[in-house]
Structure 1
Amino acid sequence: MPHDNKTSVADAENELIYPAHPLPESGNLQNLTKYVRTGRAMLTGIFLMILVYALYFARDFFMPVTLAILLALMLTPIVRFSKKRLGISEAISATLLVVLSFSFIGVTGYLLSGPVTEMVSEAPEIGRELTEKLHRLRAPAEHLLNISKQVDQVAQMGQDPKVQTVSLAQPGILSQAAGNVLSGGTTIAVTFILTLFILASGTMFYEKIIQSFGKLSEKKRALRVVYDVEQVISSYLLTITVINGLLGLTISLGLWALGMPTPFVFGVMAALLNFLPYIGALTTIVVVGIIAIVSFDQIAYAMLAPAFVLACNILEGQIVTPTIIGRRLELNTVAVFVAVAFWSWLWGFIGALIAVPLLVVIKVFCDHFETLRHVGNFLSAQAAEDEREPEERKVKPS
């Protein structure tokens, strides 16, 4: 009897764990797969929401860190070349590069501060002169303005006089400017200090990545991926920075030859805003056109300045950059606009400037992993698919 009791208990446990009438195996697998996919999708969505919230609320921390990583990627080939060919250590070359970059930004900002401040202070006068010179276009605008005033008057008449309007006092312009300058100075300082540490560390990060893998094959693959990503990203950032700098210099010289005031300001504007595809060039053309109309008496001659900027941007965007960088790093236009809109909402003007470089980083990283290759394929331009079709037709027998 005790033996029978033990047997019955064991049988009961087996029946509990392995039921006598389980569901069909295919149904269990399908339900389990469905639950797993749903759970992964929910976890991915939660993770992305947490990441966006963290990037937004902790932007004072993540922004300089991201800028430092991008700047370090751009300057890494110079540091490596200095060590291999010139025998200069990473610490010395990194210090020289960071000091030169910081000095260049400081001198450029100092030279721009005077003309930009003067231009901002003269903004009302510029607007008045622009309105006077475009007097022919004022009639439709004045008609719409009168309609808007009439609507406001009707709304005020229907408002209860006992209701008091409360307006919040906004901080003054000087206090806002001082806060922005202080925040910008802190971001720049943290960015360059962190860039110095990253460049001076040499191959420490690569060694740490390799040490995190156990098998030799995994270490080789990780090292190959890291070096490929670094090479592509550094060459892209360095090349696009040089191209934008030359574009700004060309626009400065051309506007100076046309007699535009402060051509150096517009050259720097064109170089910076060219990191924003389409939007940056359009902004530069509009601003140059407004200042040209105000500065010159004849509208026809004033249109030469924005036309010259447009020609330079077309030449750079359609011929120079695709020829030097190649078609491999061309991006989907929709993805570019979404990335610029997202990062500008997240981090403001700095986010808009680094949106495209970050998109290139994501694309190159995804191209090295089979599970993420569809993401890289979505971010790439259609031209990349069109170029692969002739190669596939060559492989197939006729």
Structure 2
Amino acid sequence: MKADHTASGAGAAESPDPRVAARADTHLMRSLLVGIFLFMAIYALYFARAFFMPVILAFLLTLTLTPIVRFLRKHGVPEVVSATLLVVLSVCIFATAGYLLSSPVIDLINNTSAIGQQLSERLAQFRRPFERIMQIAHELEGLAETSQEPDVQKVAVAQSGILSSAAGNILSAGTSITIIFVLSLFLLASGTMFYEKIIQSFARLSEKKRALRVVYDVEREISNYLLTVAVINVGLGTVIGLGLWGLGMPNPLVWGTMAALLNFLPYVGALITIVLVSVIALISFDSISYALLAPAFVLLCDVVEGQFVTPMVVGRRLEINAVAIFIAIAFWSWLWGFVGALMAVPLLVVIKVFCDHFDGLSHVGNFLAAQQTVVVEEDAVEETGKAKA
């Protein structure tokens, strides 16, 4: 009898708990569904970028201008009036910048070959040690060309006309810009309509209060961040443009605008600006030592902005780690090109702030956070352990 009880107890211990197995199956199915959803979302964002790109840009512009609308509302200006004024002002700034920058940018694009030739001649003295290697490479290339069969014919595929392609691109860009500003106007003028819809989606009063608090916190933090970063970038572009104008650089307005725009790309944007300014400075000034002053000034401005101004104004809590930034820039640039790369970091901040307000997504926000946040959390854990001891 005792042996039978022992055997039955061992069998019961070895048999798996059906509730544990059910929870494991549920977790596996949930993970699979999340993976399928993410795959389908990326697929939709890629093939429907003509729709999603202006819509997301409109939401980002709305979040950037929301603090101004909120400030004016507190001083008695209705949302419709303030939204209309801000959108009209944004359109005027965009149109003016496009008009002023179009001519020098087109000249730079048309003179790309001449700029490359002048830069090659300017750097000829630094290229002399490598001339022998280049000569050997050209000789090998010539041998490869002569070894080809004489009967082989090269076929060139005729492409569509440049004018029709340019007209199509201009029409598509104009449609996207119209959608951005019109949708931003409606979103800014809607006021608290979306908050009311969110409250109506919940039944309990406690759930309504919690949802409203989370939505307000997320909207306020993201709006303040985007507006602050936009103002900082405009200030950086202004300082760089004035400094390059003082050094005698041609088209300082172009480089200031480019610095402000590319500063939405951390690390990468500053590097691109420094390289382009270096190229133009080398072909614009006779002295190489004086030409290096322009990229050195841009580098100084970027260092001061990145290490002192932005952390002091924005705060350490919204900083993103460098690995996540580079992954986001690579992903969105693959998805939507240059515009997607500019949107990468603002979208990353939106995701981080949203994840920080939900316990189930806190691990994602912790992964996106910079190293300072992790250190603070580790110090807090150590202090808590010492207090318990």
TM-score (norm 2): 0.91
**1:19-38 to 2 correspondences below 5 Å:** 26-38=16-28
Distance 2:131 2:157 in 1: 30
Tell me which of the two structures has the higher relative contact order, counting C-alpha pairs closer than 8 angstroms and 6 or more residues apart.
Answer: 2
Name which of structure 1's ranges 295-304 and 176-185 shifts more when overlaid on structure 2.
Answer: 176-185
Task: Indicate the residue corresponding to 1:201 in structure 2.
Answer: 190
Q: Which amino acid aligns with 1:241?
A: A
Task: Indicate the residue corresponding to 2:255 in structure 1.
Answer: 266
Task: Indicate the residue corresponding to 1:170 in structure 2.
Answer: 159
Cα distance, 1:36 vs structure 2: 2.3
Name which of structure 1's ranges 23-32 and 324-333 shifts more when overlaid on structure 2.
Answer: 23-32
1:277 correspondence with 2:266? yes
**1:293-308 to 2 correspondences below 5 Å:** 293-308=282-297
1:53 correspondence with 2:43? yes
Task: Indicate the residue corresponding to 2:377 in structure 1.
Answer: 388
TM-superposition CA deviations, 1:30-52 (whole Å, max 9, x none)? 43333323222222221111101
CA separation of 1:233/1:161 partners in 2, compared to 1, >3 Å: closer, same or farther?
Answer: same
Distance 2:92 2:199 in 1: 36
Q: Which amino acid aligns with 2:111?
A: E
Cα distance, 1:363 vs structure 2: 0.2
Task: Indicate the residue corresponding to 2:6 in structure 1.
Answer: none
Distance 1:231 1:143 in 2: 61
Task: Indicate the residue corresponding to 2:229 in structure 1.
Answer: 240
TM-superposition CA deviations, 1:121-148 (whole Å, max 9, x none)? 2221111111111112323554454444
Task: Indicate the residue corresponding to 1:228 in structure 2.
Answer: 217
1:40 correspondence with 2:41? no
TM-superposition CA deviations, 1:233-255 (whole Å, max 9, x none)? 00000000000000000001100
Distance 1:64 1:246 in 2: 26
CA separation of 1:156/1:116 partners in 2, compared to 1, >3 Å: closer, same or farther?
Answer: same
Task: Indicate the residue corresponding to 1:318 in structure 2.
Answer: 307
CA separation of 1:50/1:150 partners in 2, compared to 1, >3 Å: closer, same or farther?
Answer: farther
- The one of 182, 192, 213 aligned to 2:181: 192
Task: Indicate the residue corresponding to 1:16 in structure 2.
Answer: none
Distance 2:363 2:235 in 1: 35
1:218 correspondence with 2:211? no
Cα distance, 1:158 vs structure 2: 5.1
Task: Indicate the residue corresponding to 1:355 in structure 2.
Answer: 344
- The one of 39, 55, 63 aligned to 1:65: 55
Task: Indicate the residue corresponding to 1:341 in structure 2.
Answer: 330
CA separation of 1:27/1:78 partners in 2, compared to 1, >3 Å: closer, same or farther?
Answer: same
CA separation of 1:174/1:127 partners in 2, compared to 1, >3 Å: closer, same or farther?
Answer: farther
Task: Indicate the residue corresponding to 2:357 in structure 1.
Answer: 368
- Please give the secondary structure, in 2, of the residue aligned with 1:26: coil
Distance 2:203 2:347 in 1: 30
1:101 correspondence with 2:101? no
Cα distance, 1:160 vs structure 2: 4.4
Task: Indicate the residue corresponding to 1:12 in structure 2.
Answer: none
CA RMSD of aligned residues (A): 2.1
Distance 1:196 1:275 in 2: 23
1:254 correspondence with 2:243? yes
In our comparison, the structure showing a higher alpha carbon Rg is: 1
Q: Which amino acid aligns with 2:214?
A: V
CA separation of 1:190/1:143 partners in 2, compared to 1, >3 Å: closer, same or farther?
Answer: farther
Task: Indicate the residue corresponding to 2:3 in structure 1.
Answer: none
Q: Which amino acid aligns with 1:193?
A: V
Cα distance, 1:364 vs structure 2: 0.3
Cα distance, 1:55 vs structure 2: 0.3
Cα distance, 1:178 vs structure 2: 3.2
Task: Indicate the residue corresponding to 1:77 in structure 2.
Answer: 67
CA separation of 1:35/1:178 partners in 2, compared to 1, >3 Å: closer, same or farther?
Answer: same
Task: Indicate the residue corresponding to 1:290 in structure 2.
Answer: 279
Distance 2:176 2:132 in 1: 47
Name which of structure 1's ranges 211-220 and 32-41 shifts more when overlaid on structure 2.
Answer: 32-41
- Please give the secondary structure, in 2, of the residue aligned with 1:361: helix
Distance 1:340 1:377 in 2: 19
Unaligned runs of 5+ in 1: 1-20
Q: Which amino acid aligns with 1:223?
A: L
Cα distance, 1:305 vs structure 2: 0.3
Name which of structure 1's ranges 141-150 and 368-377 shifts more when overlaid on structure 2.
Answer: 141-150
Q: Percent identity?
A: 59
TM-score (norm 1): 0.89
Q: Which amino acid aligns with 2:322?
A: T
Tell me the matched-pair count.
377
Cα distance, 1:73 vs structure 2: 0.9
Q: Which amino acid aligns with 1:75?
A: L
